[in-house]
């Protein structure tokens, strides 16, 4: 006999789905859901896989973002993508070594 999932199980499944969608949409970022030691949700974090150069930082690109909810995080990630595109930087998948990551986020020729 199959039992219905609990509310907590459903919430956990939805969070996993949100993480998967954000990760696929923004592959240049490592996205995590923060859970405090007592089990309460603590927000959403995104960290770039690639280190930013001083020139990239000067355009407004930032290395990490923290928001209370996935919608706020998604909005800020979209802003970061727009800043990158306006300044000629690639925003594709930059997982891997630091040197590979730096090359992938470098200027688009």
**pLDDT of 104 strictly over 50:** no
Q: What is the pLDDT of residues 60-69, one digit of tens each?
A: 999 999 999 9
Domain assignment of residue 78, yes or no: yes
Contacts 24+ apart (CB under 8 A), 47-53: 48/94, 48/101, 48/105, 49/94, 49/95, 49/96, 49/101, 50/94, 50/98, 50/101, 50/102, 50/104, 50/105, 51/98, 51/101, 51/102, 52/105, 53/102
- Distance, in Å, from the CA atom of 79 to the CA atom of 72, rounded to the nearest integer, reads 11
The pLDDT value given to residue 51 = 94
Domain of 95 in residue numbering reads as 7-105
For the chain, the domain total comes to: 1
20: confidence class by pLDDT, cuts 50, 70, 90 = very high
Q: What is the pLDDT of residues 22-43, one digit of tens each?
A: 999 999 999 999 888 887 888 9
101: confidence class by pLDDT, cuts 50, 70, 90 = very low
Domain assignment of residue 13, yes or no: yes
Domain assignment of residue 88, yes or no: yes
Instruction: Using alpha carbons only, give the angle 65, 14, 77 rounded to the nearest 5 degrees.
Output: 20
**pLDDT of 93 strictly over 60:** no
The pLDDT value given to residue 15 = 87
The number of helices, as runs of H, and strands, as runs of E, in the chain is 4, 3
The pLDDT value given to residue 45 = 96
Domain assignment of residue 92, yes or no: yes
Domain assignment of residue 58, yes or no: yes
């Amino acid at each position: 006999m199959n039992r219905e999932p609990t509310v907590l199980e459903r919430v956990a499944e939805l969070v996993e789905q949100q993480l998967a969608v954000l990760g696929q949409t923004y592959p240049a970022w490592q996205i995590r859901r923060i859970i405090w030691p007592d089990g309460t949700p603590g927000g959403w974090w995104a960290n770039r896989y690639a280190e930013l150069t001083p020139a990239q930082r000067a355009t407004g690109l930032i290395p990490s973002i923290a928001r209370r909810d996935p919608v706020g995080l998604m909005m800020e990630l979209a802003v970061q993508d727009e800043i990158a595109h306006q300044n000629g930087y690639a925003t594709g998948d930059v997982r891997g070594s630091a040197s590979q990551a730096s090359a992938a986020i470098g200027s688009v020729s």
